[in-house]
A = this chain, B = another copy of it.
Amino acid sequence: MPQQSRPGRIVRAPEHFVSASLQQDITQHGVGASDSPRRDFLRKSFLGAAAALAAGVASRARAADGAAGDDAILTPQPWATTLGQPVAAHPYGQPSPFEKNLVRRESPGLTRVSAASVSFAPLQGFFGIITPNGLHFERHHQGWQDIDPARHRLMINGLVKAPRVYTMDDLMRLPAVSRMHFIECGANTGMEWGNVAVPTVQYTHGMLSCCEFTGVPLKVLLDDAGADFKRGRYLLAEGGDGSGMTRTIAMALADEIIVAWGMNGEMLRPENGYPLRLVVPGVQGVSWVKWLRRLELGDQPWNTKDETVHYVDMMPDGMLRQYTSIQECKSVITTPSGGQQLVGRGFYNISGLAWSGRGRVKRVDVSVDGGRNWRTARLETPVLSKCLTRFNLDWVWDGSPAILQSRAIDETGYVQPRLAQLRAVRGARSIYHNNAIQSWQVADGGEVSNVHVD
């Protein structure tokens, strides 16, 4: 698995410079005096500043990367002295060429066929909570295709008075809603059940993305078809690809389900279900059926292949647990994370993601000593239900070995478990639904690696 790096994203430390006056600032403002969430922007930023100064991150016009700081700012760069590219040079824009290594990646050998595989999202390079559409993770069962939206149909049938067939034009005239939600594959972090420590956060947690979805509420369509809500307790969702993907969804979840065409402001991408997918907030990704072609209302679960052979949890007694669809509360530190390199002691911004299929994230704690002591991280806004939440925490690394962990707590009071706690209940032969606390070990040389801490 190749290591990712890109200019400006490697975690490394410059030389240190702390003036006497800045040391005084730090003393006056009591860095680290508070562990409580600091949402007030001013206070937060000031404390942050003081912490940064304590570590001496900034320096006065100093040399860096072999180029003199003075020279770099005083000598005109080529882009300051020449005419640039015109507007709409790219009618649909692209990332900078300097970011070309930050891409989604297949894990070689994970499956035998790349059309029935996974590409992982590069979480180590993400900011905030929105996943850029070009870097949304992929999980296909028979590959993706460029479906012609004019030829695509959605059927509603089963326990309804009047079965329906909708064109995309029909659907897009209906009342639309927009909501931000995370999507996580049920198999995310699956390798960590055993003693395999996958090297980077892209491969441990990269079957995770978060978008603003737009579409018509499922209930609107069911109402339109005259659904029998008394007998109709389960929904079958069927995809339009050749994999025969069908999933049973409990109607208890129906209120929040969206039949979606929009993803971060534009139409769904082909590999994410264009032109239509199901959005089932809080539930594992396999139920968010892509290229959605049919919804059938029924009175019992269907027990399809993708809910009997796959996506079941092997329990310690060898029994298989079915229909565990909700993604429980979970978090991961994305920076610093496995494969990255701290260059020297000093200030670092520990940053990561937290989420819960049960609602809002209430709190995220961070430990730098393998779980003995915890500090409460700052949550970026907005904090939304069944959506990623970005957390940040100031950290001054003293150069000695450290083990970084994050622990999320959701609004139901559920606390993300330690790996040992999870294994005690679930064993170590599962593939799916691993929401254990992730540990990143920082060696005294600054190398960060994946380590299993019970």
Contacts and interface: CB of A to CB of B under 8 A. Distances in A.
B351 A61 contact: no
Given A8-B169, A21-B226, A117-B87, A48 B217 contact: yes
A271 interface: yes
A440 interface: no
A150 B265 contact: no
Interface string A150-177: 1111010000011111111110111111
Nearest to A78: B145
A175 B265 contact: no
B84 A128 contact: no
Interface in A102-133: 102-106, 113-115, 117-119, 125-133
B349 A115 contact: no
Max chain B C-beta neighbours (<10 A), residue from A93, A167, A178, A381? A93
Contacts of A348: 173
Contacts of A167: 14, 64-65, 69
Nearest to A155: B73
Contact of A119 (B80, B88, B173): B88
Interface stretch (A52-60, A312-320, A423-431, A445-453): A52-60
A150 B374 CA distance: 35
Given A174-B347, A174-B349, A176-B351, A126 B266 contact: yes
Given A21-B226, A84-B143, A155-B73, A165 B61 contact: yes
A285 interface: no
Contact of A150 (B65, B103, B256): B65
A41 B7 contact: no
Given A91-B104, A212-B128, A256 B41 contact: yes
